[in-house]
Structure 1
Amino acid sequence: MGWGEGHLKWILLPLLAIAVSWWYFYSLPPTLFATTHSHLLLDRDGKLLSAHIAADGQWRFPELESVPDKFATALVQFEDKRFWQHSGVDFLALARATYDNLREQRVVSGASTLSMQVIRLSRGNPSRTLSEKGVELFRAWRLESRYSKDDILKRYASHAPFGGNVVGLEAAAWRYFARNPEQLSWAESAMLAVLPNNPALIHPGRNRERLLAKRNHLLNKLFTQNILSKLEYDLAIAEPLPEAPHRLPHLAPHLLDTLAAKNPGGQRFRTTLDAGLQQQLNTLAQRSGEQLALEGVQNLAILVLDNRTFEVKAYVGNRPMETQREQGHAIDMIQRPRSSGSTLKPLLFADMMEQGLIVPDSLVADVPVNYSGFTPQNYNRHYHGAVSAREALARSLNIPMVNMLSVRGVEPFLMQLRQLGFSHVQRSARDYGLSLILGGAETSLWDLGVAYANLANRAMQDQQHQQTFWQQGRILQSQPANSSRIATLSTATAWLTLDSLLEVARPGDDGYWEKFSSSRKVAWKTGTSYGQRDAWAIGTTPDYTVGVWVGNANGVGRAGLTGTQSAAPILFNTFSLLPPNRSWFQRPDWQMSQVEVCRDDGYLSNGVCDTKTVSVPLSSHFARITPYHQRIHLDASGQWRVTSECEAVANMQTRNWFVLPPDQADYYQQFHADYQPLPPWREDCHGSDSGQGETLSVVYPQDNTQIYLPRELDGKLGETVFRAVPAHPETLLYWHLDNQFLGTTQTFHQQAVQPTAGKHRLVVVDEAGNRVQTDFEVLITTQ
């Protein structure tokens, strides 16, 4: 029996040792503090911009990366002066506390080390019992074996209570002193070091003398330990205690909301923002927002990007408000898709140059048009007959831009937009139609700002430092710089586009933009959506891109809400807060070629026009021959056109003539007094062959376009209306579709037809034999 008990003892003792060892090694959970944390938004230098309270209602910031020296020194001197020497338990302090407690017959000293206090905090501050003290003691040993002293200090400083709903040193530093813990003085560090011992002392008007006395006692201890000099001590003692807690910074709440929604759980977001600029733009947004509110416009947004690094320098997601629960002030309008207005026009201009379809001087028709029921209008309802592509962009003329998109094609341009990072254009080309370029597309201020920043970055590249990627905007410092999108616009194209945007003017507000005087150059564009629901202004310099959106988050339009009047002033006020331009974009001659184009219309010469030299992108392969110049023959007087059938060749003189189609010429000559229409035919030459088409044009459908046949309410296919313009309305016109005679018209030259789906050819001939043809394709809507 004795032998059995002895063996049992030797069996049980190892098992007990194993159990104790197992408990010791696994006494600490994998995560000490399974608590929720606040979301923090920091600027590029680590300054706090905004914060969210934790889910449990506590201001508990994510764990510190390091503990400031002043606080660490003050804390160790106050709470655990042998912290750096012991292994979790201070046996000298424990013996002293045991003696004091036995002598007083009550608990007067706890002898808890900082390591033991970390264990206590991690267990939710349970009741102080002897068994709990034993658990804290053993787990403190285990804590010291797993973590370094610095790690233990960080966990204490991050989770200690500092009064009210303030947890952790960093939250306390911002709540009580409105700055980072690293910036605290000795007096402030000492106050926070004594506060977790009795957090209730912080309440204003209650126990302030006790808190001051404890702080000063600690400061005196630091002085007697020669940690503080006499001057430092005197200055620290003179510092008052803080009054009521400060409000945490609220400089970029919308960005924090956006990032927090994508990253649940308390995190520390280190951004590329500049706190000083962010504060200035918040003030500007507040002041501008108050003025706009008087006009019934409640919301605005401002975005600033660095064109070289693509870092976001400022992010004002909406008008700053004390309460953001009404009128959409809580919505981050930088990320919200809205109607693009005219802001995509520069990208179409650039795309067509890159494809070799235009040069900046190429003429584009600006006359009333109708595309299967879509009738675009210029902003001021004026027409210019024909304008250069550069002027159409600078004046934001709608009709020329629609005509340009018709030539380029909606589908190819839509693919280009997606390649450039426009994430919200997800519908089909048929759904968008030609209204895509006039605000029919959905875009966000973010996508626009990044696209224009890429355009500026592309324009400033030199031959030795070309980049092949179209880059993404960067908000977080940890975000990679490059994206995987291959750049589709050359440096020359980007430079020519920005050069055309230097003097943008809105139709109807000619010269208004000049009121925004500035010493710096800014290539900029405005936009206004249908119904005056959105006002845009995007501007770029070699250094920065600034984007501004103004409107109502609920989509309600307001009379007078335009890009020029509502958004542009904020744009230029923002630029005034940025450093001045170091230089302007250098002309990239290395990526340009020179071509000779007709001086009047900007197309390649056909041998009968005066030319000038223009620069085009080297890769564009521009090859469009002028359609507007022809050689004519006049009689000896120079007043009448003739041919060899009605005049001797020896008596004829030859001239080169710039001739626009009749519908364009009628408007064009109102703005160009030097435009000379073709001389009339001499009476005896009326029967001659004069048919070069210069006296007749087809307005709709235009050549090489697609048109749609709509369906009526009863589901039946509707008709489309062809329209032609002769030099004289009373001229008799003969209409043919695919070699089938349709009829004649006089005075009112329109034909209502219902062609089948597919490709067709329309031929119109006047009574003098002048002939014009148009090839087009019919698409039938399914709804």
Structure 2
Amino acid sequence: MEAQANDTTTRKSPSKLARNLKFGLGLTLGLGMAAALAGGWWLRQAWQDLPAVEHLAQYKPALPLRIFSSEGELLAEYGEERREFLPLNEIPLRMRQALLAIEDARFYEHGAVDFYGLTRATLANVVTGHHAQGASTITMQVARDFFLSREKTVQRKLTEMLLAYKLEQHYGKDKLLELYMNQIYLGERSYGFSAASNIYFDKPLAEVSIAEAAMLAGLPKAPSAYNPVANPQRATVRQHYILQRMRELGYITPAEYDTAVAEKLALNKDRNSSVHAAAYAVEEARQLILQSYPEGAYSMGLDVTTTIRMAPQIAADKSLRDGLLNAQARRGYRGPEARLAASEDSVARQLAAYPDSGELRAALVRKVGTSGKRQLTAQLRNGDEIVLTASDARLGGKLQWDGKRAIVENSVIRVVHDAAKKRWLVSQLPEMEGALISVDAHSGEIVAMAGGFDFYRNHYNHATQAYRQPGSSFKPFVYSAALEKGYFPGTAVDDTQRLLLPQETGARPWRPRNYGNNYEGFISVRRGLVRSKNLVAVSLMQAAGPGYVQHYATRFGFEGARNPVSLPLALGAGAVTPLQLAQSYAVFANGGMQMPPKLIKEVRSRSGAVLFSDAAPRAKGEPVPGTQVISTRNAYVMDSMLRDVVKSGTGRGALALGRGDAAGKTGTSNNAYDAWFAGYSSGLVSVVWLGYDQPKSLGNATGGTLALPVWRDYMQVAVQGRREQVLAEPPGLALLDGDYVYAEYLAGDCLRDSHAFIHSSVSCGSDGADTRMAQGDAGNGGSSTGTSEARSLSEAREREQILKSFSEE
């Protein structure tokens, strides 16, 4: 019985095991089916939730604003992303091969997901114990870059794979590769390989070598880690690996591989700079574009061509910088910029507040030698140690060892490298500022604009924003007004100092004087301008009528509110900008015609569509779009007198230009606060101004000694390739005693003059002429005595203040 029971137990045990196995299998299958159903449901929902991809067919990335010179040279680029879109057929084959060699060699062979690569990468990562290889295909990376974040989760990875399949349903491999190569971030704010090529190597993508292509191809994985500037060694290791892969895949030959490995790459030094040249002009152009396209200026892909020409612009920047350094050197060495406390910080950190300015580099003095040969030991920002034994020749060539200006340890100084003698010299930044503006008289195009010593040190554009007293550079407009009142270059004016009474000035008594207190008695109007005689200018303004002259000057573009009616206006007591003065002198150079100043020549979209153009050809006989502000004969006479200023007057320094049509006028304002030279030659009008932002005396200096040399140096470059332009004598002029006079004046058709300080060989006084000119005078707010009961009390007080504060050149 016992045996029978045992046998029964033995038969039941396997039956229970089988049931357990069946249960487990069923449970597993059930869970598997449930998981499959759940996974299928998730895939269905995930697929439905995938973003639409159709819009990529019309891929339009945000493209930066680019500003070019007249010749097409890139001056600046603005935008959050530095990007240039290139169709795939314009991306060189070597660049595509370099990228595929490292990112997805089987791109054209596998589907949206490379399962072979995924398996290989997974095994490699398990064996090494860390993330050694990636398995994302180009298509998966397109999905991530356009639609997904970079968070590392399983769900995000699965979504990326699904989106890759969706992308390959809509687009071919070439389109996906094109999208990737234009979208991927490659460091230095560059997106896409075209932008990266310009930023890292300063060349278009079509011109990159195999070695450069391999370097760029290494950036997508980690732009910061493989940046050839920040991490040159790591970048080079990756570049060599990519070149090796290209050789293994048959993309390059062994000889090409050896050449590429040996190639030394030349990186772009200005890769971080948005502005490459003509900084002040670029900023003006940027502001104009922002006014026209306030919403999309930095993303529409606008290409802006300016009127700036590179050779004159480079000359303008250099001439102004040299002129300011020379002018400041006349004032002597001011001493170190700062004396810092001893610190353990790096020299770069200590000099952070003292940025370099062109050739003038900041240095920190580490040691002052006092025994033997006296010398300074200093460190540059990059840590290089230099030895100095002399200063810039402009500062006298000697170092300052004693007194308040002495250079001591931990002083911040400026140094410049003397390449000819292979040495460093102590220099200094100028305290004064300046401007140079150059305009084509016939078109109004701004050819060059230098708004200060260093844009990055001072953004204020003195060429367009600084209102300063023009001094004697304003006198030609007084003379031009007087020509319309019956006076002419041969009219004799008394150059004797005299006291102007309150009834003449409209305010307090005033005794104007000439520069240097030199007086010649009665001299011609022409000589008065050539010698810049203050008494002649004041007398002409008094005779023509201060109100008339002031109103007449507004024709040229001067602002009446900034140039109020008063006799000192004849000596430049008002306020003008360098651009206004250039625009006004252009009238004399262009036969009385004024052209509005232009900086923007053309605006195009990146596709080439013209959005704005100022270069549209005119039909034959169509009038030039300018304004005739003075008569052709007035401009001709003024041009002849301004040329004499250069030939034998205060502008003789311009003779170095070697041009017979050179004309211009110096200007030095009250107390020598401002130094000017305004002039033109070969159809190019240029104005130079120097002074302090907070007005103070420039010392024993004039426009002829400070501004004219800058103008001369610039114009020697700017007029190259231009012909001399001499105006043809217009009708309506006659000669009297060897000088020009309006023909009708010889017949007495001019205003009778009763001023004792003016002698004229023309007998004026026809009743019609007297009435016409007198009415014109009164109608423009002035009389020969400068008094009018209609003038307000505030105007009288303004004249009083001007007379009180004004002192002549």
Normalised by the length of structure 2, the TM-score is 0.61
Match of 2:215 in 1: 191
SS of equivalent to 1:536: strand
Match of 2:440 in 1: 306
Matches of 1:553 and 1:183 in 2, distance apart?
46
Match of 1:497 in 2: 638
Greater displacement, 493-502 / 413-422 = 413-422
Match of 2:15 in 1: none
Q: Is the 8 A contact 1:49 1:252 kept in 2?
A: yes
Matches of 1:504 and 1:98 in 2, distance apart?
83
Shift in Å, 1:72: 4.4
Match of 2:704 in 1: 564
Q: Is the 8 A contact 2:491 2:758 kept in 1?
A: no
Match of 1:402 in 2: 538
Matches of 1:581 and 1:283 in 2, distance apart?
20
Aligned to 2:529, which of 393, 400, 405?
393
Structure 1 residues 446, 572: closer, same or farther in 2, change over 3 A?
same
Match of 1:287 in 2: 322
Match of 2:488 in 1: 359
SS of equivalent to 1:561: coil
Match of 1:316 in 2: 450
For residue 319 of structure 1, what is the amino acid of its counterpart?
F
Matches of 2:212 and 2:752 in 1, distance apart?
80
For residue 94 of structure 1, what is the amino acid of its counterpart?
D
SS of equivalent to 2:437: strand
Structure 1 residues 557, 775: closer, same or farther in 2, change over 3 A?
closer
Match of 1:334 in 2: 463
Matches of 1:301 and 1:153 in 2, distance apart?
50
Shift in Å, 1:573: 0.9
For residue 73 of structure 1, what is the amino acid of its counterpart?
L
Matches of 2:468 and 2:169 in 1, distance apart?
57
1:487 aligns with 2:628: yes
Match of 1:127 in 2: 151
Shift in Å, 1:125: 5.2
Aligned to 1:537, which of 677, 692, 696?
677
For residue 433 of structure 2, what is the amino acid of its counterpart?
N
Matches of 1:103 and 1:385 in 2, distance apart?
104
Structure 1 residues 30, 69: closer, same or farther in 2, change over 3 A?
closer
Match of 1:647 in 2: none
Shift in Å, 1:118: 5.1
Structure 1 spans left out of the alignment, 5+ residues: 1-12, 460-467, 600-611, 629-659, 669-674, 676-691, 693-702, 708-757, 762-773
Match of 2:70 in 1: 44
Aligned to 2:583, which of 440, 444, 450?
450
Shift in Å, 1:351: 4.3
Match of 1:520 in 2: 659
Q: Is the 8 A contact 2:734 2:743 kept in 1?
A: no
Q: How does 1:67-86 map to 2 (within 5 A)?
A: 72-79=92-99
Q: Is the 8 A contact 1:201 1:207 kept in 2?
A: yes
For residue 441 of structure 2, what is the amino acid of its counterpart?
N
Shift in Å, 1:540: 0.8
Q: Deviations over 1:459-516 (max 9, x none)?
A: 7xxxxxxxx763323245447549976322243332332221113169xx96672585
Shift in Å, 1:570: 0.7
For residue 518 of structure 1, what is the amino acid of its counterpart?
L
Structure 1 residues 775, 77: closer, same or farther in 2, change over 3 A?
closer
SS of equivalent to 1:550: strand
Q: How does 1:594-673 map to 2 (within 5 A)?
A: 594-595=733-734, 597=736, 599=737, 614=740, 616=742, 623-624=748-749
Shift in Å, 1:285: 2.8
Shift in Å, 1:236: 4.1
Q: Deviations over 1:597-616 (max 9, x none)?
A: 4x3xxxxxxxxxxxx68464
For residue 313 of structure 1, what is the amino acid of its counterpart?
V
Shift in Å, 1:388: 3.0
Structure 1 residues 531, 428: closer, same or farther in 2, change over 3 A?
closer
Q: Deviations over 1:352-375 (max 9, x none)?
A: 44x463333333444425223354
Q: Is the 8 A contact 2:562 2:575 kept in 1?
A: no
Structure 1 residues 627, 50: closer, same or farther in 2, change over 3 A?
same
Shift in Å, 1:105: 7.1
Matches of 2:524 and 2:673 in 1, distance apart?
29
Match of 2:240 in 1: 213
Shift in Å, 1:98: 4.2
SS of equivalent to 2:656: coil
1:439 aligns with 2:474: no
Matches of 1:439 and 1:142 in 2, distance apart?
74
SS of equivalent to 2:435: strand
Structure 2 spans left out of the alignment, 5+ residues: 1-40, 332-430, 604-611, 616-623, 764-773, 795-809
Matches of 1:146 and 1:617 in 2, distance apart?
83
Q: How does 1:451-466 map to 2 (within 5 A)?
A: 451-458=584-591
Shift in Å, 1:303: 2.1
Structure 1 residues 480, 759: closer, same or farther in 2, change over 3 A?
closer
Matches of 1:393 and 1:289 in 2, distance apart?
27
Matches of 1:211 and 1:132 in 2, distance apart?
28
Structure 1 residues 77, 169: closer, same or farther in 2, change over 3 A?
closer
Matches of 2:636 and 2:169 in 1, distance apart?
63
Matches of 2:733 and 2:215 in 1, distance apart?
74
Q: Deviations over 1:656-682 (max 9, x none)?
A: xxxx976668xx9xxxxxx9xxxxxxx
For residue 211 of structure 1, what is the amino acid of its counterpart?
R
Structure 1 residues 244, 232: closer, same or farther in 2, change over 3 A?
same
Higher relative contact order (CA 8 A, sep 6+): 2
Matches of 2:85 and 2:598 in 1, distance apart?
27
1:110 aligns with 2:135: yes
Normalised by the length of structure 1, the TM-score is 0.63
Q: Is the 8 A contact 1:187 1:219 kept in 2?
A: no
Structure 1 residues 198, 217: closer, same or farther in 2, change over 3 A?
farther
Matches of 2:55 and 2:176 in 1, distance apart?
16
Match of 1:472 in 2: 597
For residue 286 of structure 1, what is the amino acid of its counterpart?
R
Q: Deviations over 1:205-264 (max 9, x none)?
A: 541442331453476479x44xx7998776544321346955646532333344445537
Q: Is the 8 A contact 1:68 1:181 kept in 2?
A: no
SS of equivalent to 1:535: strand
Matches of 1:454 and 1:90 in 2, distance apart?
71
Q: Is the 8 A contact 2:562 2:576 kept in 1?
A: no
Q: How many residues align?
A: 596
Aligned to 2:265, which of 223, 238, 241?
241
Matches of 2:783 and 2:586 in 1, distance apart?
43
Aligned to 1:349, which of 476, 479, 490?
479
Greater displacement, 331-340 / 486-495 = 486-495
Q: Is the 8 A contact 2:494 2:523 kept in 1?
A: yes
1:255 aligns with 2:281: yes
Matches of 2:601 and 2:170 in 1, distance apart?
32
Q: Is the 8 A contact 1:351 1:413 kept in 2?
A: yes
Q: How does 1:170-189 map to 2 (within 5 A)?
A: 172-173=196-197, 175-179=199-203, 181=205, 184-189=208-213
Matches of 2:440 and 2:172 in 1, distance apart?
41
Shift in Å, 1:437: 3.2
Matches of 1:245 and 1:275 in 2, distance apart?
20
Matches of 1:241 and 1:157 in 2, distance apart?
22
For residue 782 of structure 1, what is the amino acid of its counterpart?
L
Cα RMSD, aligned residues only: 5.1
Q: Is the 8 A contact 1:402 1:434 kept in 2?
A: yes
SS of equivalent to 2:708: helix
Higher fraction of helix: 2
Matches of 1:704 and 1:387 in 2, distance apart?
29
Shift in Å, 1:435: 2.7
Q: Is the 8 A contact 2:323 2:706 kept in 1?
A: no
Structure 1 residues 452, 380: closer, same or farther in 2, change over 3 A?
same
